[in-house]
């Protein structure tokens, strides 16, 4: 991977992780499973390790969690509440021990660890001063959390006063607030009785309960607590080992998980993991792994910390949970991009602490590969709080009347033809201009800057227009009036007139812009330009068959098939006719084959631009070349006549050199233009 590619991927991963952190910690509405999140985080860690020059202070790997939620006072932790590094295999646990030995070669062996279940709840820090609970705070971003003292005081498992005659000046006991499965089921029964939405799992229920603004609601939720560590403590509080210190906290009235054990070395850690994995289904609370810590506090202090986690602790995660149930039916959902996704409707089953009645089947090729049929008993896996997946059928239980799952030929939403690109698994609806499932995205694309360029029509306003029923298809924009828009909340008369003027101005456009605005799959700006230059008219393009389309530079069988299918749909034809009747027009285009009569050096030539130009932008260079009769494409092939290479030209330049295609630098390009700079 090149540094440039790595930099782009690193930024993409950071953006995703920040988004998922916000959804999970602030909104309590997870968007991805733990397994997916962990995979993204580990990929980011690996890339930053390989390319340390791209590490920034605001990277998720350099901090420990999400920002505090609004509605509570903020609490700055006197000692940061760090996260734990994760392991998913025995090999990674072995690597954890090897890192300890590398950092502390004289540590007594076999290394002594504390081991305990990793509770699936919400981390909290309880601050006691002279034995009295004075503050409870959530983890927040590790540095600053939320003050939930009043709520924590309603949890019976949390002592309001430590049970000791001479309490320390300060001790912060840290642990996990959680909800037992029994309490969770009782809570959801009450939610349903009140007509309210049930919680997804005990973890979300515990987090939502602790963060209630009304402590009386928290008190009703039957939350539990186990201590697992500490923050700020007065001198003399800690004893020699982690386990002994936790035993001291237990004596003071703070509950500690009775399954905490002392284990020795790698074998002890592995054996403990297997025992907890076997006991997991029988526990009355959810756990998602086990936690190992070097037991000696003195060695913990010597090993120290990274920016986000202690070097002496590790969380070993459990694999995703599975269950068997019956596949009752398959429904097909249509996404914003037109992608068709099959979803399994299941006989309800509890998987990973959640009652599951639907699961993703990914795509129809996956269904065929796994030989899944309606009526099968299927294996369902859940790896977090998003929709679970169907792993496959249990063939030994297949009934004689199990029905094959047939991919639809028509969109279940709008009835347009379903297409599948060669070599791709996803099926798509071809009714892009008409299909209600794709409406918002299609409308946003139609008005975008490089399409019809209708200023003022942003996503929020479009959503309002759709909600009002005023706009369903792109041609409906041209039926709007300023008086109509002015009735919208927050819309002034002047703004309404400006938008109508922008809509009116968009009627005078170009054929390439219009083609691009239609949102035909795989038809971007360059392909739209090529189609317009080759055929000259919209009618000719709409009537062209696949063979005629493939004669156009850079258009292959897939794009040709998409174009023919798009224009074949009556619903798309109806919208296009509506747009033309609304007054959209453009100047005639002379097909590029006639441009060879021009005296320009570039007339009739196929040209590729690559790299950065200093005298003009790429778009300006492209416009000047087209004005001189050139055919500008995005990819280098044997049909390319010239490559114009600016600074930092990459793979396109290399391919041109490999094929022996003439390359012009910026100065040579300007000379061919006649020596005139813009």
490-523 in b/e burial notation, b at 16+ Cβ within 10 A? ebeeebbeebbebbeebeebebbbbbbbbbbbeb
Distances (CA, A) of 292 to 208, 285, 590, 676: 28, 19, 73, 71
CA dihedral 570, 574, 575, 578 (to 10 degrees): 170
d(CA 415, CA 114): 61
CB 428 within 8 A of CB 341: no
Give me the phi and psi of 588, to 5 degrees please. -60, 150
Residues linked to residue 509 through DSSP beta bridges, in sequence order = 586
CB contact at 8 A, 259 and 276: yes
Q: Which helix (H) or strand (E) holds 276?
A: helix 265-279
What positions carry a catalytic annotation? 118
Q: Rounded to the nearest 10 degrees, what angle do helices 34-50 and 3-21 cross at? A: 150
Burial zone of 627 (CB within 10 Å; 0-12 exposed, 13-18 middle, 19+ buried): exposed
Of the chain, the end-to-end C-alpha distance in Å amounts to 37
**195 Rama class: left (phi>0) / alpha (psi -120 to 50) / beta:** left
- All residues at 6 or more sequence positions from 497 whose CB lies less than 8 Å from its CB, including other chains: 482
Residue 226 and residue 176 in contact, taking contact as beta carbons nearer than 8 Å: yes
Distance of CA 300 to the CA centre of its chain: 36
* Strand 377-382 relative to strand 339-351, pairing: unpaired
Tokens 């090149």 correspond to 2
Residue 463's Cα: distance from chain center in Å?
22
Per-residue tokens: 101: 């030995």
Q: Which three-class secondary structure string do you get for 31-49?
A: CCCHHHHHHHHHHHHHHHH
Tokens of 231: 């923050």
**Of 528, 420, 518, residue with least CA distance to 474:** 518
Angle made by CA atoms 643, 644, 647, in degrees to the nearest 5:
125
* Peptide linkage before 110 cis (omega within 30 of 0): yes
Q: Cβ distance 72 to 151 under 8 Å?
A: no
User: CB of 286 within 8 A of CB of 181?
Assistant: yes
Of the candidates 202, 157, 158, the one whose C-alpha atom is nearest the C-alpha of residue 179 is: 202
Angle at 489 between CA 487 and CA 491, to 5 degrees: 70
For residue 452, CA distances in Å to 298, 559, 622 come to 68, 22, 19
Tokens of 634: 């995005």
């Amino acid at each position: 991977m090149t540094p440039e590619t790595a930099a782009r991927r690193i930024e993409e991963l950071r953006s995703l992780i920040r988004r998922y952190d916000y959804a999970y910690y602030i909104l309590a509405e997870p968007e991805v499973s733990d397994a997916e999140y962990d995979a993204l985080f580990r990929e980011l860690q690996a890339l930053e390790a390989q390319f340390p020059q791209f590490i920034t202070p605001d990277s998720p790997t350099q901090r420990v969690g999400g920002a505090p939620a609004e509605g509570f006072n903020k609490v700055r932790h006197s000692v940061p509440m760090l996260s734990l590094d994760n392991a998913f295999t025995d090999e990674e646990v072995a690597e954890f021990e090897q890192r300890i030995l590398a950092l502390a070669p004289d540590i007594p062996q076999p290394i002594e660890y504390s081991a305990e279940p990793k509770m699936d709840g919400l981390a909290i820090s309880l601050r006691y001063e002279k034995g009295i609970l004075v503050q409870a705070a959530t983890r927040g971003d590790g540095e600053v959390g939320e003050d939930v003292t009043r709520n924590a005081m309603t949890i019976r498992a949390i002592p309001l006063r430590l049970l000791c005659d001479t309490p320390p000046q300060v001790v912060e006991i840290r642990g996990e607030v959680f909800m037992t499965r029994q309490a969770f089921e009782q809570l959801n029964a009450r939610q349903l009785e009140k007509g309210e939405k049930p919680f997804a799992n005990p973890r979300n229920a515990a987090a939502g309960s602790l963060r209630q603004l009304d402590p009386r609601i928290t008190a009703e939720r039957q939350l539990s607590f186990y201590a697992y560590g500490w923050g700020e403590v007065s001198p003399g509080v800690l004893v020699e080992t982690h386990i002994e210190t936790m035993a001291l906290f237990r004596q003071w009235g703070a509950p500690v998980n009775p399954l905490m054990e002392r284990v020795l070395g790698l074998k002890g850690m592995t054996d403990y993991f297997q025992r907890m994995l076997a006991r997991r289904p029988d526990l009355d609370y959810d756990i998602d792994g086990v936690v190992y810590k070097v037991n000696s506090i003195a060695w913990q202090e010597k090993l120290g910390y990274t920016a986000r986690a202690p070097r002496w602790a590790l969380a070993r995660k459990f694999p995703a949970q599975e269950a068997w149930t019956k596949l009752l039916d398959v429904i097909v959902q249509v996404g914003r991009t037109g992608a068709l996704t099959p979803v399994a409707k299941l006989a309800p089953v509890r998987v990973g602490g959640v009652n599951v009645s639907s699961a993703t089947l990914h795509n129809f090729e996956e269904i065929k590969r796994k030989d899944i049929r309606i009526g099968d008993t299927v294996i369902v896996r859940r790896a977090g709080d998003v929709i679970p997946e169907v792993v496959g059928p249990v063939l030994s239980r297949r009934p004689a009347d199990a029905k094959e799952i047939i991919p639809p030929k028509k969109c279940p939403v709008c009835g347009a033809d379903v297409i599948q690109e060669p070599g791709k698994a996803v099926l798509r609806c071809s009714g892009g201009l008409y299909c209600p499932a794709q409406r918002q995205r299609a409308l946003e694309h139609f008005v975008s800057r490089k399409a019809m360029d209708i200023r003022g029509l942003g996503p929020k306003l479009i959503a309002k227009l759709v909600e009002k029923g005023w706009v369903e298809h792109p041609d409906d924009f041209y039926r709007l009036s300023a008086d109509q828009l002015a009735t919208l909340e927050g819309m002034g008369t002047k703004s309404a007139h400006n938008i109508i003027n922008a809509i009116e101005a968009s009627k005078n456009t170009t054929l390439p812009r219009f083609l691009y605005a239609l949102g035909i799959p795989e038809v971007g700006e360059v392909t739209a330009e090529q189609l317009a230059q080759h055929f000259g008219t919209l009618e000719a393009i709409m009537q062209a068959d696949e063979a005629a389309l493939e004669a156009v530079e850079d258009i292959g069988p897939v794009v040709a098939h998409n174009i023919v299918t798009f224009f074949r749909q009556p619903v798309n034809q109806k919208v296009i006719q509506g747009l033309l009747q609304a007054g959209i027009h453009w100047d005639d285009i002379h097909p590029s084959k006639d441009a060879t009569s021009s005296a320009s050096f570039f007339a009739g030539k196929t040209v590729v631009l690559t790299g950065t130009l200093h005298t003009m932008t790429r778009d300006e260079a492209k416009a000047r070349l087209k004005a001189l009769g050139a055919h500008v494409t995005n990819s280098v092939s044997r049909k390319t006549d010239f490559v114009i290479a600016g600074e930092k030209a990459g793979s396109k330049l290399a391919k041109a050199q490999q094929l022996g295609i003439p390359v012009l630098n910026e100065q040579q390009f300007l000379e061919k233009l006649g020596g005139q700079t813009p």
